[in-house]
Amino acid sequence: MNQKGPQFRPGDLVEVRSPNEILQTLDAAGTVDQLPFMREMVEYCGQRFRVSRTVVKVCASGMKGGSVLRGFRTNDVVLLDGLRCSGADHDGCQKHCVIFWRAAWLRKVDAATPQADIKPSDVERLRTQLRTMVSPTIYFCQASELLRATKPLSHWERYTKWVREIRDGNCSPLEMCQRFSIFLFWKIRRKLLGHYARTDKKSTPSETLRLQAGDLVQVKPMENIQQTLDDQASNRGLWFSPNMRLLCGKPQRVERRIEKLIVDGTGEMRNLRNTVFLEGSFCGCAHIAFGGCSRCEYVYWREIWLSREGDPDTRQLEVSADKQSV
């Protein structure tokens, strides 16, 4: 495993290399060390961004047994400010994942350096070399290949990666101490009391609000939400994580609906019902992973956990489970 320090640090100005340069880094599958360069990334060739953080460890979610903590085999993966996958070339996947960038796909620049001239023909040539599916039902992207591009972290690695988080400039010692405190509190609580907000229910209800982007909603009180959860603190397979309780009783705005997403590690497209993203609501990974993770995924909200003013007749309670949706 490459233990050298990262080539880039948070705040560095970088330019995404040209399509021809990117092609030279890719293997026959369109990857570097099994991490794909996706078609959604091609539009950024020649553009400049700030590095937001180096990727020290990541959570892979949506699999049997819950999320797992993993790490890339080399220390050359970073995130760039504000860049998330649109899903446009993967049948409109709405997961909106952060995009992982290998150092080989970037160059460090300064503001005075002339930007690269990108030819449309080179862009199209690169796009045609990048696949989006491996079968009629299995997609190929960074989420689908996450397990192959990373390795499991040993117990020791899970508890020592925080050193690199501070060394690489991802957070300050004070911020890491805050993450430690959050993790230890919830770890002790789970040991003593089990899953947060769980009930003894085996099946859970759903509610349709037909929310749309821009709608104003209020997160229900915790005692109301708890009645919608099962013995794993989930509603129809979707976990209500401890950090989500911080928004209980507060007004929020819907960013968009989410109806389908590609599952980490499998490439399967999964359908969702009655689920939305709320503006600025991100995964509170520090609650379940020592020191947190670098992925910063959106939190998924069931509509039954939210309320808005309106005619109650527009709401439809759905009690039966749908095997094709979660």
- What are the structural domains, with CATH classification, of the chain? 13-167 (no CATH), 206-318 (2.30.30)
| C-beta of residue 243 within 8 angstroms of C-beta of residue 284 | yes
Catalogue the long-range contacts made by 121-126 (C-beta closer than 8 Å, 24 or more residues apart).
122/18, 122/19, 122/20, 123/19, 123/42, 123/43, 123/45, 125/19, 125/20, 125/23, 126/19, 126/20, 126/22, 126/23, 126/42, 126/45
> Between the CA of residue 271 and those of 34, 94, 95, 139, 295, what are the distances in Å?
26, 10, 11, 14, 22
Across all residues in the chain, what is the average pLDDT? 87
First to last CA, the chain: 38
111-123 mean pLDDT: 90
Share of the chain above pLDDT 70, in %: 90
**Helix (H, G, I), strand (E, B), or coil: what is residue 288?**
coil
- Looking at residue 64, its pLDDT comes to 54
Which range among 140-144, 191-195, 240-244 has the greatest average pLDDT? 140-144
- Looking at residue 190, its pLDDT comes to 79
Q: Is the pLDDT of residue 309 over 50?
A: yes
pTM of the model: 0.87
- Looking at residue 62, its pLDDT comes to 60
pLDDT in tens, 237-259: 898 988 898 899 999 999 999 99
Q: Is the pLDDT of residue 2 over 70?
A: no
230: number of Cβ within 10 Å: 17
Lowest mean pLDDT among 30-39, 138-147, 289-298: 289-298
- Looking at residue 313, its pLDDT comes to 41
The phi, psi pair for 176, rounded to 5°, reads -70, -35
pLDDT in tens, 76-90: 999 999 999 999 999
| C-beta of residue 16 within 8 angstroms of C-beta of residue 46 | yes
Q: How confident is the model at residue 132 (pLDDT cuts 50, 70, 90)?
A: very high
pLDDT in tens, 288-305: 777 778 888 889 999 999
- Looking at residue 325, its pLDDT comes to 46
Token pair belonging to 15: 């330019």
Question: What's the CA gap between 153 and 157, in Å, rounded?
Answer: 6
